[in-house]
Amino acid sequence: MSIALAMQLREGTKKSHTMAENTGFVSCFLKGVVDKATYRKLVADLYFVYKAMEEEIEALSNQSHPIISSICYPELNRCLTLEKDLAFYFGKDWKMNLKPTKSAQIYAARIHQLAREAPELLIGHHYTRYIGDLSGGQILRRIAQKAMNLSGDDGLNFYKFDLITDEKSFKLKYSETLNTLPIDQKTADRIVDEANNAFKYNMDMFKELEGSLITAIGKVLFRMITSRQRKGSTEGIKTNT
């Protein structure tokens, strides 16, 4: 009997998806409030997460894992695109200057742990990250490009899936793959639970970045206020004379 895993993942993570969208960082992002210094920290964190994911998925696929090998789609891989963005934001020596936040370290560690102990649960993380990026990537790309005044693909390669020409067809193929995995309902339930955990790990990263974003917004507001104050002071002097 086929397990409708794709639908179960979609329905079973709706609440987590909404919670993630309502975090301060994502809410600001969707409204066009994107600070370049904070955004590059996000890119760095995502690199460590995807590096862990892609290393483990590839290794398990090479071992012909009966479940993981089915969802090893190289066209989804993000590490190379993230490396281009990291070089843009941090310079050519980006590897020497890169350090993940604590939440990103925990997230990557969870991926490595699952690869050792319960590889099938990596499906939850794979679905949450890759399909999420593929689905909303272009919208987020446009927001980030406008907010940070970027041109072309500079700093935004993460959102490009050059090897996927038809996103709708690919997502349909991905769903069909999920639905034909050799798993039972108990395993499907565990995968959905782990997908919700994936959302939590992402939200933890977002919350850790919120401090940097708040500081950046505060600096902008401070400059605006002091600029207005200086302008008001100058106008007062002109009036008095």
Chain segment 174-215, per-residue pLDDT in tens = 999 999 999 999 999 999 999 999 999 999 999 988 876 655
Whether the predicted pLDDT of 239 surpasses 50: no
Structure-token pair, residue 164: 């996927």
Structure-token pair, residue 128: 């949450």
Average pLDDT over residues 150-159: 93
How many whole angstroms separate alpha carbon 156 and alpha carbon 149? Answer: 11
pLDDT of residue 219: 46
Q: What is the pTM of this model?
A: 0.87
For residue 3, name the pLDDT band (cuts at 50, 70, 90).
Answer: confident
- Which residue type sits at 116? R
Delineate the domains of the chain, giving CATH numbers in brackets. Answer: 5-232 (1.20.910.10)
Whether the predicted pLDDT of 137 surpasses 90: no
Better-scored residue on pLDDT, 236 or 30 = 30
Better-scored residue on pLDDT, 107 or 33 = 107
How many whole angstroms separate alpha carbon 160 and alpha carbon 83? Answer: 13
Judge residue 123's burial from the number of C-beta atoms within 10 Å of its C-beta, 0-12 exposed, 13-18 middle, 19 or more buried. Answer: buried
195, 18 Cβ separation under 8 angstroms:
no
